[in-house]
């Protein structure tokens, strides 16, 4: 297109020179000045028209992107309400409006993932990465998806790409640490998690994964310290039962059974289903030598069950860890 435009200008220039000359007299300085002036006017008009068309296209692209971003934001609110169908509809419309909107495409990939369409989600995210290969958030999202699928080698490549582009990205360091933890390398995981915490001090996700790494090492003193730090971030009375239970687990593993029992009771007060926590509290009271309190709690549990109900079983350490992890990932 540019070549054709300049060819047209050259043709016009030759025409201007031809018609402005005199066949019977040699061209004078005035002739040349006149020719140049005409050429400049014509070329300027052509370039101005081309510039206007370019500006128009850029303006239209900007408007389409704005429309797509608006639809994507509406889809985000639909996701917060749990309306996956509406979010899907809005994001499909957003991508039809502006196929190059990587934010909308990444959000659409997440909706597909939540709907169980894993391969489609990966394809959408790969399309977004093809458009914006230096976007660290896209690499982190891809790494998270691949971790859930157990594709750790691929996930690590994307995590490292995110860190290379954005070395101060806390989410990039978190996913890098999670991959190391899944490979049973807790020390390497801790190094990555503390890098994330250095970027965002007191970040609950980072603290949660630090606690998980210390659990893997069997360092329950450190687990206790980290869990206490996590709970300090909540207002009194707002502590999630899963986090209180994780603290109770640390007390129990350290042999501090009375503290563990009291913490499990706090968790029971805040939980919708209190019986598992009451059972753990009763077990810890019994281990602490307080049989009377243990019997009182077990008697409190029994009337709540129907005659055919199975007696509640204490949560295992793995279940408590999983519950705590799910709570932190929801935040």
Q: In Å, how far from its chain's centre is CA 33?
A: 64
End-to-end CA distance of the chain: 52
Helices 136-148 and 170-182 sit at what angle, rounded to 10 degrees?
Answer: 20
How is residue 36 written in tokens? 């140049």
List pLDDT tens digits, range 78-120.
Answer: 777 887 788 778 877 777 888 888 888 898 899 999 989 999 9
Residue with tokens 């899963």: 242
- Is the CB of residue 280 less than 8 Å from the CB of residue 205? no
DSSP type of residue 312? P
* Structural domain boundaries in the chain: 86-133, 234-331
Cα–Cα distance for residue pair 55/127, rounded to 1 Å: 27
Cα–Cα distance for residue pair 247/30, rounded to 1 Å: 94
Q: Which residues of the chain have pLDDT under 50?
A: 1-3, 5-6, 9, 12-13, 16-17, 19-25, 47, 306-331
pLDDT the model gives residue 98: 82
Domain covering 234-331: architecture: Alpha Horseshoe (1.25)
Residue with tokens 């209180």: 244
Cα–Cα distance for residue pair 248/257, rounded to 1 Å: 9
Within the chain, residue ranges assigned H as helices are: 2-20, 29-80, 84-97, 102-114, 118-131, 136-148, 152-165, 170-182, 186-199, 204-217, 220-232, 241-253, 257-270, 275-287, 291-301, 317-329
pLDDT the model gives residue 310: 36
From the list 66, 125, 133, 76, the residue with the least C-alpha distance to 98 is 66
- Is the CB of residue 32 less than 8 Å from the CB of residue 16? no
Q: How many Cα atoms are found within 13 Å in the side-chain-facing hemisphere of 276?
A: 17
46 to 3, 15, 18, 19, 329: CA distances (angstroms)? 13, 15, 20, 20, 58
Cα–Cα distance for residue pair 1/319, rounded to 1 Å: 65
pLDDT the model gives residue 304: 58
90 to 81, 82, 83, 216: CA distances (angstroms)? 14, 14, 11, 42
Predicted TM-score (pTM) of the model is 0.71
């Amino acid at each position: 297109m540019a070549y054709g435009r300049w060819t047209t200008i050259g043709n016009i220039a030759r025409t201007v020179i031809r018609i402005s000359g005199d066949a019977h007299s040699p061209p004078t300085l005035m002739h040349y000045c006149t020719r140049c002036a005409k050429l400049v006017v014509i070329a300027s008009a052509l370039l101005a028209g081309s510039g206007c068309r370019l500006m128009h296209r850029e303006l239209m692209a900007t408007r389409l992107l704005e429309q797509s971003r608006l639809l994507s934001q509406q889809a985000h609110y639909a996701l917060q309400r749990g309306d996956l169908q509406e979010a899907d509809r809005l994001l499909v419309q957003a991508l039809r409006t502006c196929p190059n909107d990587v934010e909308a495409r990444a959000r659409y990939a997440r909706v597909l993932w939540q709907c169980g369409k894993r391969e489609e989600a990966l394809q959408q995210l790969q399309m977004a990465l093809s458009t914006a290969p230096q976007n660290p958030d896209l690499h982190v999202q891809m790494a998270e998806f691949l971790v859930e699928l157990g594709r750790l080698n691929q996930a690590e490549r994307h995590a490292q790409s995110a860190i290379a582009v954005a070395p101060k990205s806390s989410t990039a360091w978190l996913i890098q640490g999670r991959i190391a933890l899944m490979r049973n390398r807790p020390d390497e995981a801790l190094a990555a998690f503390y890098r994330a915490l250095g970027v965002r001090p007191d970040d609950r996700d980072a603290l949660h994964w630090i606690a998980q790494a210390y659990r893997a090492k069997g360092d329950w003193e450190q687990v206790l310290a980290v869990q206490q730090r996590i709970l300090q971030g909540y207002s009194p009375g707002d502590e999630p039962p899963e986090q209180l239970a994780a603290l109770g687990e640390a007390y129990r593993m350290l042999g501090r059974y009375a503290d563990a029992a009291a913490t499990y009771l706090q968790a029971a007060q805040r939980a919708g289903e209190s019986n598992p926590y009451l059972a753990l509290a009763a077990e810890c009271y019994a281990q602490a030598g307080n049989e009377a309190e243990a019997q009182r709690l077990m008697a409190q549990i029994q009337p709540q069950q129907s005659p055919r109900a199975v007696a509640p079983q204490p949560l295992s350490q793995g279940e408590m860890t999983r519950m705590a992890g799910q709570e932190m990932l929801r935040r």
